Amino acid sequence: MKAAVVVFPGSNCDRDCKVAVERSTGASVDMVWHAETALPPGLDLIVLPGGFSYGDYLRCGAMAALSPVMTEVRKAAERGVAVVGICNGFQVLCESGLLPGALLRNAALKYVCKPVDLDIVRPDTRFTRAFGSRRRAVMTVGNGEGAFFADADTLTRVEGEGQVVFRYADNPNGSLNDIAGLINTGGNVLGLMPHPDRSFEAELGSADGALLFQSLLETA
Amino acid sequence: MRARVHVFLKAGVLDVQGKAVENALHGLGWSGVSDVRVGKTVEFDLAGPDPAAAEGEVRRMCETLLANTVIEGYRIEVA
């Protein structure tokens, strides 16, 4: 498997993502600077990492979504390449329109950083099949603006299309419908607030994040 | 020409920052305050003589970058 992690100015989980994908899957992982106008050839996976791209100025992910490299990420997504956006990466995917909705300030106005229980709503996606018969996973969240929001029509559509992949068992931030992770209708673009890259080895408290990356080996 | 863009969360989108400010104002004794919304203002100089064309340009800036119309509305002043 061949993967790339996009590095925006202000990304701070880019190295974590590289190590997590490498150790979970054995993939070779390139780091791609946001100003690049081409991606490495033959990618199976593109990761948009967590952090504070562009200092979270204006809105989380807003300026990153307009980075030169995102034109290429969009093209790759249209070709069916797997794209996963984690935390700030999820915000970038929503800002870019690759996923519906937006992420708002947490309902309690607090930065939330802790392991959370997730219900695996869609165990049949490219990103979750390695969870097998499991319907629960533990991953760490770390966000101040992680409350998923979409207007009522969009939310109904998203639920109707089965785009919710993960829900919080105990909602930590006020996300509508307890949504923790969403997939596009094409099934190849996933955004989630919890960090599989901080939960990929038992020493980190949970190894469940590794299963997310390993799921992709089956289609690589 | 000076452009001023006001961006606010849409009605119906919970403004937790506004809520916190409202609670603080209530705590200070301003009990008549309600529906506080916290937004932001972006100001900039814009080259060109035609205010109408400028407003169209600023609108495109809002739709592209300055506002996320999923959650935010905006108001433009050009002078």
Residues of B within 8 A of A106 (CB-CB) are 16
Tokens 């935390």, located at residue: A87
pLDDT score at A220:
66
Cβ atoms of residues B55 and B76 within 8 Å: yes
Beta-sheet pairing, A45-48 with A82-86: parallel
CATH of the domain at B31: 3.30.1280.10
pLDDT score at A109:
86
Q: Using one digit for the tens of pLDDT, what is the confidence trace for A107-162?
A: 988 899 999 999 999 999 999 999 999 999 999 999 999 999 999 999 999 999 99
Cβ separation of A149 and B13 shorter than 8 Å?
Answer: yes
Edge-first strand listing for the sheet containing A189-192: A28-33, A2-7, A45-48, A82-86, A189-192, A179-183, A164-168, A112-120, A136-143
Residue A49 main-chain phi, psi, to 5 deg: -85, 170
* Integer CA distances (angstroms), A94 to A21, A105, A145, in order: 23, 14, 13
Q: Using one digit for the tens of pLDDT, what is the confidence trace for A98-121?
A: 999 999 999 988 899 999 999 999
Q: Using one digit for the tens of pLDDT, what is the confidence trace for B10-47?
A: 998 999 999 999 999 999 999 999 999 999 999 999 99
* 3-state SS class at A103: strand
Residues of A within 8 A of B66 (CB-CB) are 58
CA trace torsion A139, A142, A145, A146 (10° rounding): 0
Of A66, A100, A102, Cβ closest to residue B65: A66
Helix A208-215 to helix A14-25 angle (10° resolution) is 70
Tokens 């301003």, located at residue: B30
Catalytic positions of A, written as ranges: 87, 195
The DSSP output letter for A51 is B
Search chain A and give the residue with CA nearest B41. Answer: A58
Mutation for testing the A interface, residue in B68, B69, B72 having most A CBs under 10 Å? B68
Q: What mean pLDDT, rounded, does chain A reach? A: 97
pLDDT score at A202:
95
pLDDT score at A83:
98
Superfamily, domain A2-218: Class I glutamine amidotransferase (GATase) domain (3.40.50.880)
pLDDT score at A218:
82
The ipTM estimated for the assembled molecules is 0.89
pLDDT at A187 over 90: yes
* Integer CA distances (angstroms), A106 to A43, A94, B39, in order: 34, 16, 16
Whether chain A has a CB inside 8 Å of the CB on B69: the answer is no
Range of the domain at B47: 2-78
Q: What is the mean pLDDT of residues A181-209?
A: 97
Rounded distance between C-alpha atoms, residue A42 and residue A128, angstroms: 22
- Angle CA A81–A190–A7, to nearest 5: 75
Cβ atoms of residues A9 and A35 within 8 Å: no
CA distance A135 to chain B (A): 31
Tokens 């996933």, located at residue: A190
Whether chain A has a CB inside 8 Å of the CB on B68: the answer is yes
Q: What total number of domains does chain B contain?
A: 1
Could you tell me which residues of chain A have a Cβ less than 8 Å from any Cβ in chain B? 58-59, 62-63, 66, 94-95, 100-102, 104-109, 149-151, 154, 174
E strands along A75-192, which residues?
82-86, 102-104, 112-120, 136-143, 147-149, 164-168, 179-183, 189-192
Q: How many residues does chain B have?
A: 79
- Angle CA A14–A65–A154, to nearest 5: 110
pTM of the model: 0.95
Listed by start position, the domains of chain A span 2-218
Q: What is the mean pLDDT of residues A163-172?
A: 98
E strands along A49-155, which residues?
82-86, 102-104, 112-120, 136-143, 147-149
Cβ separation of A63 and B65 shorter than 8 Å?
Answer: yes
